[in-house]
Structure formats: structure tokens, C-alpha cells
Structure 1
Amino acid sequence: MRCRANVIVNLRPALGVQAIAEMIEKNVAVIQGNCFGFVLIPLSIGESENPLDYVHKAKTSMDRKKHSLESQCTFYASQLFLKLFGFKGIMVHVCSYANKLTFTIAVDEGIIPDLKQLGDDFIQSFMLIKEAAHHTKLATKLD
């Protein structure tokens, strides 16, 4: 089975805290509006010895792809796709803010009939990743 994740990336250059403070001091407009694109990240389905291998592979792929033209092109392509076909299938939205990770999952019941099983599978996968991250952090501190 082949799956892809649609990841939102910021297309504006990162200003950083110091640069924003300097802009405020110089009375330069800080708010420039949202400018974001999308990249498609391939996801492999399966078990591995270390669940963090999956996370590291996805992160490396995301870092590489967000600096390509894909983020700009897929934004326009997705707008056209949604206008033509609407929403279908599964959508996973992830928000990381203030040390809290929130997932929102939207599913077409005609495509995935057992929503409870899907939710349980997501929870189990994230618990495995969390446990592996905790063990890796402890092993790193001991080395």
C-alpha cells in the first residue's frame, strides 16, 4: 500500500525573534500575511525495529522537499483539485504549538467504515513512537 501525507510548509523566510524585534524598533510592518504551500511526503506502512527510524526518514524528506518548487506548485494544484472534486477519503491535520501536538482526522465513512479502529491504530502508532523517543533520550543521556 502506498500512502502520502500532505504537509503544510511556510514559504516565507524565517525571520527569527531578533529580526522581528529589530523590525519593530525600526517601525517596519511585521505582519505580512500567510504564505504557505504543501509538500507530499511518502509514508511507508509497516513495522520496524525502531519506530523513530520512520520519523527520521519522514523529517529528512520534509526538509528536502520544502525547499523545492513543489511547495509552490502543489498549493495551486490542490486549489484546482478541490474546486473540481471536493473532499474525499481521509485527511489528517497536525498542529504543533506550545509543546502540544493536536491531530484532527477527517474520514469519509464510505471509504473507511470502522472509524474506531482507525483511531485506535493512530493512537497505538503514536504511543510506539513516543515510547521509542523516550528510550532513545534515556540512552543518549547515559552515553
Structure 2
Amino acid sequence: MNVHILAIMGFKTKIDLDVFKPNLPSTLLKHPRFSSLLVDLAIYNVETADKFVEDYILNLSKTSIDKSMPLWDLHILNVNTSMAESVGIFRIHHSLGDGISLMSLFLASTALVLVKDSETPIKGPITSTSENNPRRKVFNEHGFESKNIEKGITGKKNNLPVKIRVRSILFINIRPSPGIQALADMMEKNTKAKWGNWLGFVILPLSIGLRDDPLDDIREAKAMCDRKRHSLEALCSSGVAGFVFKFFGIKPASSLFLRLFTSTTLAFPNVVGPLEEIGFYGHPLAYLAATTYGGQANELMVSMQSYMNKMSVVLSVDENTIPDPHQLCDDIIESLKFIKNSVVEKGLAK
């Protein structure tokens, strides 16, 4: 699986290259997985904003990192978007580490019963090249300030089909030491923090229906996630994948993962981010978003990334299946606002 991670960083100021570039050798490039000669940064200056960044990321997802070079690169877009004054795109091959590993670096500088989900508008036909199709990344962020929004799903006619199966792959950190750890601890030998790819996965059924209380969906999903996290499903899925790779080779292991992704409707990665404001070499961060491409056979990936009191939602979609990802992203944001408003109204949070 030729998977690449994209960390999309919005900055509150324009990026000063005379400050940014000289600091890389003394921070990021000291890490053994990222050590290399600093050749150049990809730098772009344009007047218009959001669409340019979105199209740039789309075109980036059509390419792979040259395997003869270090498996990461950094792109700096000094463009004034609706959410930031400039954007940095850090592309890393997934073989260098998983989200927990990379977040620690960033802060320092089951069910194998593979029945298929129902055919729905967000699950298109799978071909032999589906996992390599370019993905448009649509992202938005949502703060926790309270807003009044229009009520009401009660009373609407339910035209949803019966017996519909929609499931998500949920990635689980299987390290004995949970959460984001200090980079120095992760690089030590025999540590519980463990740098690298230490992920298992679980299959999460999604409830489809109209509820009078939107918090019922949250309670049901949380109960299901808690059961899955405390079960052996994630450890077993990781163990089975490792067993297949060790004894049968990379092609059967890749086929196993491909079948897993093509049998489900969406993937749902998420990583907890910094609670306090951070910056790169004097450039304060406005938002942080993350996603992946390559080896992604799902037509839809929904990534969540927290930063301070905000959460970024990133959709990675195959436009052949989901031609209007902006509408889907807006719908998700409105749903989150509706849930938040319900929590505030019930006095469960301020």
C-alpha cells in the first residue's frame, strides 16, 4: 500500500523563508527517519486562495514520492486563504510512521469477515485501480462557540431504505502507552511508546436513520467504540496482517488490505492534536488538518484533527463517486453544529 500522509498546516502569518528554511536542519532533519540533505522547498506565491490550495492538494495526490529520495517533502504556499495567511503541506510516506508518531515529531519541532457494504451514493464501483485514483481534499474547521441553528428533523418523512449496511474502518493506536508521547521517549529502544506504524483497525457499523434526539446517535456510537477499543479486535487485526505479511509475503498482505477497504464504505482516521497554540520557527499555527492518499480504495475518508479548541474535518473523496464534496462537508459541519446545540440546550455543557 503506497500510502502518503498529508499534514496541512495553516499559519496566521506569511511564511518567512529566510527564517523557516535555516531552522529545518537543526530540528526535523536531525530525526533519523527524516535525515537528508536540504535541497529546496517547493514555494508558491499567488493572489487567490482556497480553490488554488484545494487544487494543489488534488494534483499532489496524483503523484508519489520518488523512492530514490527521502520519503517526505514540504510545500509552502504563501497564499491568503479564508482560514490562514499561508499554508504548509507536509507530505510523508506512511512507512516512516503513523499519525501518533508523526504528531509526536510535529510537537517536538476483528472482523475479518469481509462482506461488502450496500451500494450507496458514497460507495461506488471498485476497479483494479480504485485505490490509486486521485482524491480531492475538502477541509473545514469548527470551533466550539455556541450558535443558534435551525431546529428540526422531527416530523420529516423517512425515505431511507431498510436493511442498509454502512460500515467504517476505524484505526486504533495499539501501543501499550496511549496518547501522544515525547519524541525522545518514542525513539528509545524497548519503549512502550514505540515509533513507527502501530495501528490496528476495527469495523464500526454506522446507524442509519432519523432520530428525534441527535445525541442518541452519539451515545450509541460511543458505546460501540468503547466496546471495540476494549476488545481484542484491533490487536487481532494487526496480528493477522503481520502474520500474512511474514509468512505469505507482501502481495497477499496487500490483497487482504485492499479487500478490507473495498468491502466497507468509508475510513475514519483521527489524531488528537495540541491543546495549546504552537508555531513553527516563530510562525503561529492557525489550524492543523491531516489526511492520506494512495492505497485508499474507499471512495470516502473522513479525517478529524483537533487543535486547541477547534476541530478540522477533512474529506478525501473520489470525485467519480462523490461529485460535490463541498456539500457533503457542509452537511457534516451542520450536523456537528446541530449536535453541539442540542448539548448546550440540555445543559450538558456550557
Question: TM-score scaled by structure 1?
Answer: 0.71
Q: Which residues of 2 match residues 23-34 of structure 1 at below 5 A?
A: 31-34=193-196
Residue 90 (str. 1) matches residue 253 (str. 2): no
Match of 1:67 among 230, 246, 253: 230
Match of 1:105 among 297, 308, 315: 315
Q: CA, structure 1 residues 73+15, in 2 after alignment: closer, same or farther (shift >3 Å)? A: closer
Indicate the residue corresponding to 1:5 in structure 2. 168
Structure showing the higher helix proportion among its residues: 1
Pairwise CA distance, 1:117: 2.2
Structure with more relative contact order (C-alpha pairs < 8 Å, separation 6 or more)? 2
Pairwise CA distance, 1:106: 0.6
Distance 1:129 1:49 in 2: 12
Match of 1:125 among 314, 335, 344: 335
3-state SS in 2 of match to 1:12 = coil
Pairwise CA distance, 1:81: 2.1
3-state SS in 2 of match to 1:109 = coil
Q: CA, structure 1 residues 70+14, in 2 after alignment: closer, same or farther (shift >3 Å)? A: same
Q: CA, structure 1 residues 139+33, in 2 after alignment: closer, same or farther (shift >3 Å)? A: closer
3-state SS in 1 of match to 2:323 = coil
Match of 1:81 among 254, 257, 262: 257
Residue 47 (str. 1) matches residue 202 (str. 2): no
Asked if the contact 2:167/2:203 (under 8 Å) is kept, the reply is yes
Distance 1:119 1:15 in 2: 30
The one-letter amino acid of 2:319's match is E
Asked if the contact 2:343/2:349 (under 8 Å) is kept, the reply is no
Identity %: 40
Q: CA, structure 1 residues 33+130, in 2 after alignment: closer, same or farther (shift >3 Å)? A: same
Asked if the contact 2:172/2:199 (under 8 Å) is kept, the reply is yes
Asked if the contact 2:301/2:316 (under 8 Å) is kept, the reply is yes
Distance 1:29 1:117 in 2: 44
3-state SS in 1 of match to 2:230 = coil
Pairwise CA distance, 1:83: 9.1
Alignment RMSD (CA, Å): 3.3
Q: Greater CA deviation, 80-89 or 118-127?
A: 80-89
3-state SS in 2 of match to 1:104 = strand
**Once the two structures are superposed, what CA deviation does each residue of 1:57-82 show, in whole Å capped at 9, x if it has no partner?**
11110111122232134443985324
Pairwise CA distance, 1:99: 3.7
Pairwise CA distance, 1:47: 2.1
The one-letter amino acid of 2:199's match is F
Which segments of 5 or more consecutive residues in structure 1 lack a partner in the other structure?
A: none
Question: TM-score scaled by structure 2?
Answer: 0.32
3-state SS in 2 of match to 1:5 = strand
Distance 1:73 1:97 in 2: 31
Which segments of 5 or more consecutive residues in structure 2 lack a partner in the other structure?
A: 1-163, 245-252, 263-294
Q: Greater CA deviation, 76-85 or 61-70?
A: 76-85
Asked if the contact 2:175/2:194 (under 8 Å) is kept, the reply is no
Q: Which is higher, the Rg of structure 1 or of structure 2?
A: 2
User: May I ask how many residue pairs the two structures share in their alignment?
Assistant: 131
The one-letter amino acid of 1:124's match is E
